[in-house]
Structure 1
Amino acid sequence: MSTQTTERYRRAAETQDVELALSAFAPDAVVHSPLTGRVRFTGHAELGPLLEVAYSHLRDIRFHTDTGDASTRVVVHTARIGGEEIEETAVLKLDEDGLIAEATLFVRPLPGLVALMDAFGPDIARRNGRPFAARLLAVAAKPLLAMVRSGDRRAVPLAGPRA
């Protein structure tokens, strides 16, 4: 049952099918944001809009790992967002019916995580009826994204091993 759930989760992401994704989640499932420990999405009513935002921004989703047991699965995929490559790991806790009861998301590398924040934050705030927060998030993320991209391209290679 657990691999059937993660197979649905994978197919939904790769085809950007929100309803198929929701069918892998328990009705009261919780998803923990990769951006902050202060934000979580609970139940299908909150997960649906989150998945719509995610699927509207993520491109070229390709899963490469699905491992674990009947109660905990770890799935990993690569994708692109706003020109940045990301790798996302989801730790999925399954309920007695084999549905996802809790998902904790982790995203790397840093430029991809900040690109995700830049894209998702304003959209989620707008969907939650917070237009001022959406504008603030859109403005606040731009300098951080520029700084992280610049550091990744210029500073990080300086600290790496010599060829």
Structure 2
Amino acid sequence: MSIDTTERYRRALETRDVELALSAFAPDAVVHSPLTSRVRFSGHEELRPLLEVAYSHLRDVRFHTDTGDGPTRVVVYTARIGGEEIEEAAVLKLGDDGLIAEVTLFVRPLPGLVALMDAFGPDIARRNGRTFAARLLAVAAKPLLAMVRAGDRRAVPLAGPR
């Protein structure tokens, strides 16, 4: 049953099918943000806009790992968001019914994570009727994204092996 659930989760992201994704989640499922421990999305009502935003921004999704034992699975994929590559690991905890009860997301590298924040934050705030927060997030993320991109291109290679 867990393979069927992770297969639906994977296929939903690859095809941007929100309904298919929701069919893999328990009605009261919880998703923990990769950006902060202060944000989590609970239940289908909160997951739907999150999935719609995610599916509108992620491109070139390619899953490369699906592993786990019992009620815990880990799926990992690469994708693009804007001009940045990301790799996301999702730790899926399955309930007794085999559906996803809880997901904790991890995203790397830092430029990809900040690009995700830049794209998702304003869109999610807007969908939740928080227009001022959406404008604030859109403005606040731009300098951080520029700084992280510059550091990744110029400073990080200086610290690496020769």
Shared fold, TM over 0.5: yes
Could you tell me which residue of structure 2 aligns to residue 54 of structure 1?
Answer: 54
Could you tell me which residue of structure 2 aligns to residue 66 of structure 1?
Answer: 66
SS in 2 for 1:23: helix
Alignment partners' CA distance in 2, 1:64 and 1:3? 15
SS in 2 for 1:144: helix
Could you tell me which residue of structure 2 aligns to residue 18 of structure 1?
Answer: 18
Q: Show structure 2 runs of 5+ residues with no match.
A: none
| CA apart distance, 1:69 | 1.5
Equivalent AA in structure 1 for residue 156 of structure 2: V
Identity percentage over the alignment? 89
Instruction: Name which of structure 1's ranges 61-70 and 31-40 shifts more when overlaid on structure 2.
Output: 61-70
* Per-residue CA distance 1:38-60 (angstroms, 9 max, x = gap): 00000000000000000000000
Alignment of 1:8-47 (within 5 A): 8-47=8-47
| CA apart distance, 1:70 | 2.4
Alignment partners' CA distance in 1, 2:87 and 2:120? 16
How many residues matched?
162
* Per-residue CA distance 1:99-119 (angstroms, 9 max, x = gap): 000000000000000000000
* Per-residue CA distance 1:84-103 (angstroms, 9 max, x = gap): 00000000000001100000
Could you tell me which residue of structure 2 aligns to residue 82 of structure 1?
Answer: 82
Q: TM-score, normalised by structure 2?
A: 1.00
Alignment partners' CA distance in 2, 1:10 and 1:72? 15
Equivalent AA in structure 2 for residue 59 of structure 1: R
Alignment partners' CA distance in 2, 1:49 and 1:161? 43
Q: Show structure 1 runs of 5+ residues with no match.
A: none
Could you tell me which residue of structure 2 aligns to residue 151 of structure 1?
Answer: 151
SS in 1 for 2:161: coil
Alignment partners' CA distance in 1, 2:58 and 2:147? 22
Q: TM-score, normalised by structure 1?
A: 0.99
Maintained 8 Å contact 1:70/1:98: no
Alignment partners' CA distance in 2, 1:2 and 1:150? 41
Equivalent AA in structure 1 for residue 61 of structure 2: I
Alignment partners' CA distance in 1, 2:147 and 2:65? 31
Alignment partners' CA distance in 1, 2:45 and 2:70? 26
Instruction: Indicate the RMSD between aligned Cα atoms, in angstroms.
Output: 0.3
Maintained 8 Å contact 1:2/1:69: no
* Per-residue CA distance 1:60-89 (angstroms, 9 max, x = gap): 011000000120000000000011000000
Alignment partners' CA distance in 2, 1:157 and 1:125? 35
Could you tell me which residue of structure 2 aligns to residue 108 of structure 1?
Answer: 108
